[in-house]
Structure 1
């Protein structure tokens, strides 16, 4: 049974569900990549480097663009609601922390990146839980704000991305690999 979703329109309810699913995919993919780094970095240095590069590529392709798109689309709309301003200020501060962790990962060795990767995983999960549980419902219920329109803009920005590539993960095959590309999340090209 679906949880109760409160929204001004059915379209806004659908947008809320889609955003929740997107957040779950982001956290799930990051968790998988961090787990690979935790388990693989010490065993095989070459695999550790590949996993580390794949984690950075995922951050560049999906995590950082999500943060940028949220700040550009959702946060200004939520900031118009006086009760949401302190929350939005806190989320913007978290963006700086998340970006800093990605920067730390960029300059660390695979083995040295483990703590930063885990911190990124935990902070992103908490950050997206606040977006999902607080910001999106506020927007979905706010008079005069159409979450469905905001979500469409967010999707467009994420689909266009800095490289024009689609940041969403490739469909999984029955064997657990990714369609059209052999390996799993440790590859730098597929996610």
Structure 2
């Protein structure tokens, strides 16, 4: 399915705005959590607290594996498919896919590192992810919303990895039902 965000009829502006807001809220929450986990690890490393460092490292790696990487992978089909088929979206999407690869590589680096190396990897993940989210929020999602034939609401429908649990809507249930 190359263009999963494609729609068959006119878009519902309220649904598009709701989807955009839900994704932006989810992104903000993810970045806030990643920042807190990174700061915890960095502070433990700075304080030379091996027990706190080990714990912070484990929690951060687990969050990356359970939340960050699945979020990135979930975007690649539904959110990126439609814009990637547009001349004005192809380079942006290709660049964002490359960022996913960098993030996954940094998570692998984080998994195998300790001390300052782990803190550097964590900070790099946070910084790249923050930049990545900024591009999604200000470039990619507005492109989807503004493009006839693409629908952000349909692209993220049912995907808690993209919008968070509280905002997942089952197809055909309308915007008022959540799972």
TM over 0.5: yes
Correspondences of 1:101-120 after superposition (within 5 Å): 101-120=106-125
State the partner residue of 1:17.
21
- Distance in 1 (CA, whole Å) between partners of 2:116 and 2:53 is 7
Alpha-carbon spacing, 1:154–1:77, altered in 2? closer, same or farther (3 Å): farther
State the partner residue of 1:39.
43
- Distance in 1 (CA, whole Å) between partners of 2:40 and 2:109 is 18
CA contact (8 A) 1:41 1:110 kept: yes
CA contact (8 A) 1:34 1:121 kept: yes
1:108 is paired with a residue whose SS is coil
- Distance in 2 (CA, whole Å) between partners of 1:110 and 1:47 is 11
RMSD over aligned Cα atoms: 1.7
Instruction: Give runs of ≥4 in structure 1 deviating > 3 Å.
Output: none
Correspondences of 1:136-151 after superposition (within 5 Å): 136-151=141-156
- Distance in 1 (CA, whole Å) between partners of 2:86 and 2:115 is 42
- Distance in 2 (CA, whole Å) between partners of 1:136 and 1:85 is 14
The yes-or-no answer on 1:125 pairing with 2:159 is no
Structure 2-normalised TM-score? 0.80
User: What do residues 56-102 of structure 1 show as CA deviations (whole Å, max 9, x unaligned)?
Assistant: 01101111011000112111111122100010111111111111100
Alpha-carbon spacing, 1:123–1:129, altered in 2? closer, same or farther (3 Å): same
Structure 2 gap segments, 5+ residues each: 1-10, 166-179
Deviation at 1:141, TM superposition (A): 1.2
2:117 is paired with a residue whose SS is coil
State the partner residue of 2:172.
none
Structure 1 gap segments, 5+ residues each: 1-6, 160-166, 169-191
Larger proportion of helix: 2
